[in-house]
């Protein structure tokens, strides 16, 4: 383990994140809110729509220890500016970093312009959102990326050619169209499309979707067993998802509709097929080409420790 990281001099709290920080005793990852059930959940749902209301009664156990930390990361802004306002009041010296790892759409409670006047730094994984809201762009990390880079293809027998996993989010028609095209080319598809919560699905669409997400360990297993990962970003998104980082880590091909990916240093047309910029009939020749391993200096940018260190340099 590298011991000269500057972040080792700081006590860091991650809210709304899902990373594993067990190896770092000076870090803690916690859910923003405590478990809210029954009638209280209804009260909470109403309260979060009232601007300026004190929401701290619903915060998790971390709030008792907040003065022990000097830096806090809030992913996606929590559910609105109340958390930043709370932190500014109870620990005025704490450094607050709001990091958006999902695309920001106008009118949402966590829009950056709702945080005006509050003491916080704002970053986003989405280049267009960075320009739109005049906040800083910083790509995310892949938490399974090892610090000591082996950077080699996982040698397993492929059980499928193309793997997709994700929530529908109005992408079902496009996904099924692509699946049909791939199948007609003779490519096998392993698609796991989860239904969008609180959306209406007719019997035809239910047949192609599922209600439950699969555990991430199963996602990794299915990535290892495929030749290529399909990445379909929702309309208006300009930041990369986990899919490109998974493809880079596991040495898999990537098929994506994210044109912005061509601006990233790991982009290589031998590894990444950008839909809409090439004839889809070139997929077969693309799949037949060997994967080119990503340079270590680029790989290192997506390691958690190196990503975190950029906030302290």
Q: Is the pLDDT of residue 173 over 80?
A: yes
Q: Is the pLDDT of residue 33 over 70?
A: yes
Mark which of 77, 103, 138 sits at the end of a domain. 138
Please check whether residue 200 lies inside any domain of the structure: yes
CATH number at residue 259: 3.40.50.2000
Beginning with the edge strand found earlier in the chain, give each strand of the sheet holding 253-256 in spatial order: 189-194, 160-167, 226-231, 253-256, 272-274
Please check whether residue 307 lies inside any domain of the structure: no
Please check whether residue 145 lies inside any domain of the structure: no
Residues 33, 132 within the same domain: yes
Please check whether residue 231 lies inside any domain of the structure: yes
Residues 185, 287 within the same domain: yes
C-alpha closest to that of 127 among 259, 276, 308: 259
Please check whether residue 155 lies inside any domain of the structure: no
Largest alpha-carbon pair distance within the chain? 60
Residues 56, 88 within the same domain: yes
Segment 78-111, tens digit of pLDDT: 778 999 999 999 999 999 999 999 889 888 889 9
Q: How confident is the model at residue 11 (pLDDT cuts 50, 70, 90)?
A: very high
Backbone angles phi, psi at 57, to 5 degrees: -65, -20
Residues 173, 107 within the same domain: no
Residues 130, 175 within the same domain: no
Which domain covers residue 127, as residue numbers? 6-138
* CA 126 to the chain's CA centroid: 11
Please check whether residue 305 lies inside any domain of the structure: no
Residues 166, 276 within the same domain: yes
**Strands (DSSP E) found in 108-250:** 121-124, 136-137, 160-167, 189-194, 226-231
Backbone angles phi, psi at 61, to 5 degrees: -65, -15
Residues 84, 182 within the same domain: no
pLDDT of residue 147: 55
Per-residue pLDDT, averaged over 248-263, amounts to: 94
Residues 100, 30 within the same domain: yes
Residues 188, 82 within the same domain: no
Q: How confident is the model at residue 39 (pLDDT cuts 50, 70, 90)?
A: very high
Q: How confident is the model at residue 2 (pLDDT cuts 50, 70, 90)?
A: low
CATH number at residue 133: 3.40.50
Residues 120, 170 within the same domain: no
pLDDT of residue 1: 46
Per-residue pLDDT, averaged over 137-146, amounts to: 84
Please check whether residue 151 lies inside any domain of the structure: no
pLDDT of residue 126: 92
Per-residue pLDDT, averaged over 209-215, amounts to: 92
Q: Are 91 and 67 in contact (CB under 8 A)?
A: yes
Name the pTM for this structure: 0.86
Please check whether residue 238 lies inside any domain of the structure: yes
Residue keyed to tokens 């011991």: 3
Number of structural domains (the chain) is 2
Residues 36, 132 within the same domain: yes
Residues 67, 171 within the same domain: no
Residue keyed to tokens 């601006």: 263
Segment 105-141, tens digit of pLDDT: 888 889 999 999 999 999 999 999 999 999 999 999 9
Q: How confident is the model at residue 3 (pLDDT cuts 50, 70, 90)?
A: low
Residue keyed to tokens 């990537």: 254
Per-residue pLDDT, averaged over 19-27, amounts to: 87
Backbone angles phi, psi at 144, to 5 degrees: -95, -5
Q: Is the pLDDT of residue 266 over 50?
A: yes
Q: How far is CA 214 from CA 18, 167, 210, 244, 255, in A?
A: 16, 11, 10, 19, 21
Task: State how beta strands 136-137 and 121-124 pair.
Answer: parallel
Average pLDDT along the chain? 90
């Amino acid at each position: 383990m590298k011991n000269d990281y500057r972040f080792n001099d700081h006590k860091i709290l991650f809210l709304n994140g899902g990373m594993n920080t067990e190896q770092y005793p000076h870090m803690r990852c916690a859910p923003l809110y405590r478990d809210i059930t029954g009638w209280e959940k209804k009260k909470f749902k109403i309260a979060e729509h009232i601007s300026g209301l004190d929401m701290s009664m619903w915060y998790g156990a971390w709030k008792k220890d907040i003065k022990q930390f000097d830096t806090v990361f809030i992913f996606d802004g929590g559910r609105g500016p109340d958390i930043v306002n709370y932190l500014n009041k109870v620990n005025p010296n704490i450094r607050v970093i709001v990091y958006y790892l999902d695309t920001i759409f106008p009118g949402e409670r966590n829009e950056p312009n709702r945080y005006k006047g509050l003491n916080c730094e704002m970053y986003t994984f989405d280049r267009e959102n960075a320009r739109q809201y005049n906040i800083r762009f910083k790509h995310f990390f892949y938490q399974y990326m090892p610090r000591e880079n082996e950077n080699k293809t996982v040698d397993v027998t492929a059980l499928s050619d193309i793997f997709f996993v994700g929530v529908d989010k109005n992408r079902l028609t496009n996904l099924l169209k692509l699946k049909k095209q791939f199948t007609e080319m003779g490519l096998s598809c392993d698609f796991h499309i989860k239904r969008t919560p609180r959306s209406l699905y007719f019997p035809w669409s239910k047949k192609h979707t599922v209600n439950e997400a699969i555990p991430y360990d199963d996602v990794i297993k299915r990535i290892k067993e495929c030749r290529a990962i399909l990445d379909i970003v929702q309309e208006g998104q300009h930041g990369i998802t986990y899919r490109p980082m998974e493809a880079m880590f596991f040495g898999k091909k990537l098929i994506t509709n994210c044109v912005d990916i061509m601006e990233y240093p790991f982009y290589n047309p031998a590894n990444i097929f950008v839909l809409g910029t090439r004839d889809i009939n070139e997929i077969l020749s693309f799949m037949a080409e060997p994967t080119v391993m990503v340079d270590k200096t680029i790989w290192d940018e997506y390691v958690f420790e190196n990503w975190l260190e950029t906030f302290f340099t």
